[in-house]
């Protein structure tokens, strides 16, 4: 593990931040190229992407604070300004709301934009999970198996003092598979919104399953983790939307 990639004078380059930057940059490149093919003005799409990025990170942080509300009440400043602490589904929820507003403002079909963005999100997320591995957050449950990883004691996963399942790398792999799958079928899609719905469905199913092997605290809703609870909603919502949009063909 190398949470700090290098130091140049007072500047510290964190590996987590580097992979998030790479993910966002590659996502923008892929999405902007697809937007150009869809005859969307480059400046308009760049503005849409920028605000989705800002609101996505904001939403991910807000939902994290909501999930960890007890810790927030005890030490609000530490929870708000620490280097980690994001709930991906929070970014998705805020992103959808922002996308709805921006699509109306720029008079671009929301499903058209959603399909374009669905190509970049899993790739950015995949690289972000690699960053999580280097930082030591979002780790799996304890495991003495051959693929267990012992993190440094000063990392979030290291305080356990035992090997844990590298859920970050497993998630990164499957997110990359989702990205490749969506890129493969984009030319064969039957209706606007199909790629976005497929992404939501595939990711939600995967997230529901992988949550059983997570070892970090993420809050609970009855017998499910917060992310599992949201995954169930997303799965049924994606199935409903798929049926509704398919009938319009």
Residue 102: what pLDDT? 96
Residue 164: what pLDDT? 93
Q: Is there a domain that residue 81 lies in?
A: yes
Domain count for the chain, please give it: 1
Q: Are strands 220-221 and 11-14 parallel, antiparallel or unpaired?
A: unpaired
Three-class secondary structure of residue 190 per DSSP: coil
Q: Is there a domain that residue 20 lies in?
A: yes
Three-class secondary structure of residue 99 per DSSP: helix
The rounded distance, in Å, linking the Cα atoms of 195 and 182 is: 6
pLDDT band at 44, cuts 50/70/90? very high
pLDDT band at 43, cuts 50/70/90? very high
Q: Are 113 and 44 in contact (CB under 8 A)?
A: no
Q: Is there a domain that residue 27 lies in?
A: yes
Q: Is there a domain that residue 124 lies in?
A: yes
Task: Tell me the pLDDT of the chain averaged across its residues.
Answer: 88
Residue 124: what pLDDT? 95
Q: Is there a domain that residue 220 lies in?
A: no
**What's the token pair of residue 152?**
């440094």
Q: Is there a domain that residue 9 lies in?
A: yes
Q: Is there a domain that residue 152 lies in?
A: yes
In which domain, by residue range, is 69 found? 4-187
């Amino acid at each position: 593990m190398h949470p700090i990639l290098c130091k140049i004078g007072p500047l510290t380059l964190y590996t987590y931040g580097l992979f998030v930057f790479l993910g966002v940059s590659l996502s923008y490149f892929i999405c902007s190229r697809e937007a150009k093919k869809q005859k969307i003005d480059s400046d308009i799409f760049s503005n849409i992407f920028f605000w989705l990025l800002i609101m996505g990170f904001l939403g991910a942080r807000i939902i994290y604070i909501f999930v960890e509300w007890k810790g927030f009440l005890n030490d609000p400043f530490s929870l708000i300004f620490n280097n980690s602490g994001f709930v991906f589904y929070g970014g998705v929820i805020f992103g959808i709301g922002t996308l709805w507003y921006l699509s109306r403002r720029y008079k671009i079909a929301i499903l058209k934009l959603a399909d374009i963005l669905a190509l970049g999100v899993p790739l950015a997320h995949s690289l972000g999970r690699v960053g999580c591995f280097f930082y030591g957050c979002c780790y799996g449950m304890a495991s003495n198996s051959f693929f267990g990883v012992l993190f440094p004691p000063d990392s979030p996963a290291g305080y356990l003092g035992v090997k844990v399942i590298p859920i970050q790398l497993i998630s990164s792999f499957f997110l990359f598979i989702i990205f490749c799958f969506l890129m493969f079928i984009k030319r064969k899609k039957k209706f606007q919104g199909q790629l976005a719905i497929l992404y939501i469905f595939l990711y939600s199913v995967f997230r529901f399953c992988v949550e059983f092997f997570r070892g970090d605290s993420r809050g609970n809703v009855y017998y499910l983790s917060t992310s599992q609870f949201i995954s169930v909603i997303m799965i049924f919502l994606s199935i409903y939307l798929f049926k509704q949009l398919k009938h319009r063909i």
